[in-house]
């Protein structure tokens, strides 16, 4: 599989603040690449550098094997994007919006092709409806149709599920999967929602305070054999004593919980064991292994909260 996008030692500094610091990663052709991190982690800043909306302080970006700063027009002509919410003309219809953006891009397309684009995003039946009547999810889908009108190889979506209801999130998820599986597009998806990235992404990067803390194949990073489990009992000290005699001897007390890393499939056995020892269990909370890894790297930062799920 070929490398489609390569970032090396990317840094963006605003006076005394480094929004992105020495960031390196690569996106393979055909990936749905998840760009995961807390709000304010540097995701949007990185994406704006990928789209030449802002300039990096240092580092190199290559897309399609070409240096971005030297080949901006050629690269962007093969790239589609939605940054935050799509800019659409509210008093034009969906079809008129798509046709207008095609003309602005100096692309000659037929009505059939434009209708096919609207069909692809599930808006063919609303092609003659004015955009002001659309839900936010419908506007997001129309925004993707606009981003696809010039048939780009790379699609970059910054927080595409922000502000959507559960049905809108599901529609967006299915659309992103269709772009990859049926249309062969490479998609970069920025999000702070671990649960969404887990479902759609093939590979991902996790950043925190502008720095990379993890990158790899999603299924390998979400290994159920390395699940962080928090157990709250009526007497954590007694429970910890009993666990010292088992393979779960690495358990520690964190606040009101016992915390240990274990295979997710062993949780019922852990519960039975503690019950047999007369320990009353109040709650058991398993976390994704990636979330556990993130928290283990940031547990000294009192301003960090777990990923949304």
Q: pLDDT tens digits, residue range 254-297?
A: 888 888 888 888 889 999 999 998 989 998 888 766 666 666 55
pTM, two decimals, is 0.78
In this structure, the answer to whether residues 123 and 250 fall within a common structural domain is no
Buried b / exposed e along 175-206 (16+ C-beta atoms within 10 A): bbeebbeeeebbbbbbbbbbebbbebbebbbb
Q: What is the pLDDT of residues 18-64, one digit of tens each?
A: 999 999 999 999 999 999 988 888 999 999 999 999 999 999 999 99
Residue 157 belongs to a domain:
yes
- In terms of Cα–Cα distance, which of 197, 189, 217, 202 is closest to 43? 189
Pair 288, 194: CB distance under 8 Å: yes
pLDDT confidence of residue 86: 81
| Tokens 């529609």 belong to residue | 171
Residue bearing tokens 């602005």: 104
Range of the structural domain that residue 175 is part of: 3-221
Q: What angle do CA 286, 292, 296 make, to 5 degrees?
A: 140
CA 221/CA 231 separation, integer angstroms: 23
Do 216 and 101 fall within a single domain? yes
Tell me what the pLDDT averaged over the chain comes to: 88
Q: Decide if 56 is inside a domain.
A: yes
Question: What is the structure's pLDDT at 305?
Answer: 43
Q: Per-residue confidence at 100, pLDDT binned at 50, 70, 90? A: very high
| Final residue in a domain of this structure, among 186, 201, 221 | 221
Q: Are residues 105 and 124 in the same domain?
A: yes
Parallel, antiparallel, or unpaired for β 203-208 and 66-67?
A: unpaired
> Within this chain, do residues 12 and 149 fall inside the same structural domain, yes or no?
yes
DSSP string, 4-69: EEEEEEEEEEETTEEEEEEEEEEEETT-EEEEE--TTSSHHHHHHHHTTSS--SEEEEEETTEEGG
Nearest to 77 by CA among 185, 151, 175: 151
Mean pLDDT of all residues in 184-197: 88
Kindly report the CATH number assigned to the domain that includes residue 187: 3.40.50.300
Instruction: Tell me the CATH number at 255.
Output: 3.30.70.980
Does some domain include residue 251?
Answer: yes
Name 66's bridge partners.
63
């Amino acid at each position: 599989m070929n490398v489609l996008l390569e970032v090396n030692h990317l840094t963006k500094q605003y006076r005394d603040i480094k929004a992105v610091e020495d960031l390196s990663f690569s996106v393979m052709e055909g990936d749905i690449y998840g760009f995961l991190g807390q709000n304010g982690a540097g995701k949007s800043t990185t994406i704006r550098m990928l789209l030449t909306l802002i300039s990096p302080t240092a580092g190199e970006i290559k897309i399609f094997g070409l240096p971005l700063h030297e080949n901006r027009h050629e690269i962007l002509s093969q790239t589609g994007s939605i940054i935050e919410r799509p800019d659409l003309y509210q008093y034009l219809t969906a079809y008129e919006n798509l046709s207008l953006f095609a003309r602005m891009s100096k692309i000659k397309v037929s009505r059939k092709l434009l209708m096919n684009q609207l069909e692809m995003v599930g808006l063919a039946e609303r092609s003659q409806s004015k955009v002001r009547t659309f839900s936010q999810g419908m506007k997001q889908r129309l925004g993707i149709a606009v981003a696809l009108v010039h048939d780009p190889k790379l699609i970059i979506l910054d927080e595409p599920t922000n502000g959507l209801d559960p049905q809108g999130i599901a529609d967006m998820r299915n659309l992103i999967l269709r772009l990859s599986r049926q249309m062969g597009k490479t998609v970069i998806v920025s999000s702070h929602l671990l649960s969404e990235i887990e479902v759609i992404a093939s590979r991902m990067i996790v950043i925190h305070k502008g720095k990379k803390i993890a990158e790899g194949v999603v299924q390998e990073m979400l290994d159920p054999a390395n699940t962080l489990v928090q157990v709250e009992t009526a007497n954590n000290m007694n429970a910890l004593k009993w666990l010292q005699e088992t393979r779960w001897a690495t358990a520690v007390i964190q606040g009101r919980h016992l915390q240990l890393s274990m295979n997710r499939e062993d949780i019922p056995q852990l519960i039975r064991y503690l019950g047999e020892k007369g320990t009353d269990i109040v709650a058991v909370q398993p976390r994704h292994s990636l979330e556990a890894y993130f928290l283990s790297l940031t547990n000294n930062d009192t301003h960090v909260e777990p990923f949304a799920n």
